[in-house]
């Protein structure tokens, strides 16, 4: 019973840090989704206006790849449980 009282502040601290990790993870997922949309949109503009077709195709495909990676981490997030 004595060890429980000693570990209680440590477990509270771990729970606090875990909450911060979850908030940071959600923010990174948001930034990744917005970045993927911006990269695909700018690549499509470059590609379809024939300004720089090669660079535009590369941006579109890399934006799609970024969106797939973000979607993977949405479906299978890391477990922040200690």
As averages over each run of 10 residues, the pLDDT of the chain (82 residues) reads 64 88 94 97 96 95 97 88 54
Q: Give 76's DSSP letter.
A: S
Distance of alpha carbon 38 from alpha carbon 46, whole angstroms: 12
- Looking at residue 57, its pLDDT comes to 96
Is pTM, for the whole model, over 0.85?
A: no
Q: Give 82's DSSP letter.
A: -
Where do we find the tokens 């934006």?
63
């Amino acid at each position: 019973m004595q060890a429980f009282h000693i570990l209680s502040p440590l477990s509270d601290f771990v729970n606090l840090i875990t909450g911060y990790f979850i908030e940071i993870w959600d923010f990174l997922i948001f930034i990744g989704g917005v970045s993927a949309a911006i990269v695909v949109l700018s690549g499509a503009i470059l590609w379809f206006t024939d300004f720089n077709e090669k660079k535009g195709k590369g941006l579109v495909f890399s934006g799609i790849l970024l969106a797939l990676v973000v979607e993977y981490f949405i479906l299978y997030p890391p477990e922040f449980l200690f």
